[in-house]
Amino acid sequence: MSNLYNEPEYSKNVIEFLTVANEYCLFIEKSENYSKIDILQFLQKISPLLYLKGSLLPVVNVENTDTNERFVTEEQWETIFNELRKKFNKDDNYWFIDFNSPDENDPVKASLAENFADIYQDLKDFVMLYQKNIRAAKQNAVYDCKLLFKSHWGYCITNAQKAIHHLLYKDKSTYNYPELM
């Protein structure tokens, strides 16, 4: 019998992703304690790391889909969304080109708060399911998170990253502020 910890759901890439995802969730859950600039700076740094770690999640074969669960409620999502929207205020909306739309030349309006609340939901569900002491739950957590990375939150990160960069550095006078370095 093979060593259980050699299985993909226990790999170094999964554990590292779990660590970063948990850090993201803990910060977002306490976003009311932070200023807009603190949130933007955090997202500027953790988003590329989430993207990288998400892209490195292994292919996992799920043995039992009965252990799959979702944990974040609609009310929890709305609380996160509303807090972020309040923090971002007039800077919440941004435009991007959706290359998956029928007319890829038309800009699409998006919301930073919605993007990061969606990412929170997917990552919190991953963290909660992965923490269960059942191998099939861990398999489902990794499988779903990789699937959602490819279909949803990977796009959210890449679309929002340019908007975050713009908000942090659009005014050349902010270049000299240490908090924006």
Q: Summarize pLDDT for 26-78 with one digit per residue, the tens.
A: 999 999 999 999 999 999 999 999 999 999 999 999 999 998 999 999 999 99
Under DSSP, is residue 109 helix (H, G, I), strand (E, B) or coil? strand
- The residue length of the chain stands at 181
72 and 125 Cβ atoms separated by less than 8 Å: yes
Domain boundaries, the chain: 4-180
Residue type, 117: A
119-175 pLDDT per residue, tens: 999 999 999 999 999 999 999 999 999 999 999 999 999 999 999 999 999 886 655
What share of residues in the chain are helix, strand, coil (percent, to 5)?
Answer: 70, 5, 25
Looking at every residue in the chain, the average pLDDT score rounds to 93
Q: What is the CATH number of domain 4-180?
A: 1.20.120.1550
Q: Which residues, other chains included, contact 86 with Cβ-Cβ below 8 Å and sequence gap of 6+?
A: none
> DSSP character for 62?
-
pLDDT of 82 strictly over 80: yes
pTM for this entry:
0.91
